[in-house]
Amino acid sequence: MTAAGYSFPHKHLLGIAPLSGPDVTAILDQARAFEDVCENTEIKAISALSKKIVVNLFFENSTRTRNSFEIAEKRLGAEVVNFDAGSSSISKGETLLDTAANIQAMRPDLIVMRHSAPGAHALLARHIEASIVNAGDGAHEHPTQALLDAYTLRERFGALDGINVAIVGDIRNSRVVRSNLWLLTKMGANVTLVGPPTLLPPEIAETWPGVKLSNDFDEIIPGMDAIMMLRCQFERGTGQYIPGQGEYVKYYQLNAARMKMAKNDVAVLHPGPINRGVEITSEAADGPNSLILRQVANGVPVRMSVLYLLAGEKT
Ligand code: NCD
């Protein structure tokens, strides 16, 4: 399934930062093989994770990511346990490590976790035997989102090397952008981050020196092959960094007028959930250039691939 002589060397997926280019390619190639399983209506599930127990541990809200993981797990034949932090002992004051120790005592094979604390997964990985998959940790990383974005871009352009990608909006608060920065720069894409100065932390240039930063969306649009819009994360305080929504919309919303400035075949992406009428209008989100629902569809084979490479029976 993967290139001759290569075997996936990681026990956990804590972020994109620790992955090599060949690791990313292995995940995307394996996902391509699983896409056939997802699209074949005759085959509902395969047995690569049969008898394996996967715990989905979501301490933060999620619709798409959580459902996508659950479908991926079921398509691989795993036993799935959903642990909802709202209805768990967390709400009674149990610490993350105590919760983890209790879950570990039940011997799961894989834990898929979303948590508001950056680094929560790395902490868990030191105390637990199961493989840990990061489904989002604060504003740090969201590796499977970046992998499904990369898969969608590779499907559209054939390769990531050399494509011009703009990531636009609430860079400051976005874990999606951090995982995408690691991934796209490793794979040779040219990345431009766009947003108002207050949402574009200059330290980004220290960690990813090749990445361009711009406050002028209109100026960079014509040169882009793909435009990835980010949600304004008002629940993380984005409102305090912008003068007002009207001002933000004027300069940074992807709308019909800006679509006209772009290449005819520009690809439009958004990780969801969309704030329609804020960072993107319906014309751009639902128009012919939009790959947004393709991203959602691709999330399933990409997550199957990650789970399989970490813990699957390689027969
Ligand atoms: C993102 C997230 O939760 O990090 N959404 C997602 O996983 N599909 C982005 C966001 O919430 O804006």
Query: Which pLDDT belongs to residue 66?
Result: 95
Ligand 1 within 6 A of 152 CB?
no
Query: Which pLDDT belongs to residue 1?
Result: 47
Q: Specify the residue with its C-alpha closest to ligand 1, atom 7.
A: 65
Ligand 1 within 6 A of 64 CB?
yes
Ligand 1 within 6 A of 228 CB?
no
Ligand 1 within 6 A of 271 CB?
yes
Q: Which two tokens stand for residue 51?
A: 């008898």
Ligand 1 atom at shortest distance from the alpha carbon of 60? 3
Give the Å distance between the CA of 51 and the centre of ligand 1. Answer: 30
**Burial (CB count within 10 angstroms: exposed 0-12, middle 13-18, buried 19+), residue 63:** exposed
Rounded to two decimals, the pTM is 0.95
Ligand 1 within 6 A of 145 CB?
yes
Query: Which pLDDT belongs to residue 110?
Result: 96
- CA 256 from chain centre, in angstroms, equals 26
Identify which of 140, 145, 293 to mutate to test ligand 1's pocket (most ligand atoms within 8 A of the CB): 145
Q: List helix spans (H) across 217-274.
A: 217-220, 245-252, 256-261
Q: Do the Cβ atoms of 175 and 136 come closer than 8 Å?
A: yes
Q: What is the pLDDT along the chain (315 residues), one digit of tens a residue?
A: 456 788 999 999 999 999 999 999 999 999 999 998 888 777 777 889 999 999 999 988 888 999 999 999 999 999 999 987 766 666 566 788 888 788 888 899 999 999 989 988 998 899 889 999 999 999 999 999 999 999 999 999 999 999 999 999 999 999 999 999 999 999 999 999 999 999 999 889 899 999 999 999 999 999 999 999 999 887 777 778 787 888 999 999 999 999 999 999 999 999 999 999 999 999 999 999 999 999 999 999 999 999 999 997 765
Ligand 1 atom at shortest distance from the alpha carbon of 176? 4
Which amino acid type is present at position 44?
A: K
Identify which of 60, 61, 63, 65 to mutate to test ligand 1's pocket (most ligand atoms within 8 A of the CB): 65
Domains in the chain: ranges and CATH: 21-142+298-314 (3.40.50.1370), 143-295 (3.40.50.1370)
Cα–Cα distance, 148 to 271 (Å, whole number): 9
HSE-CB at 2 with a 13 A cutoff on CA atoms is: 20
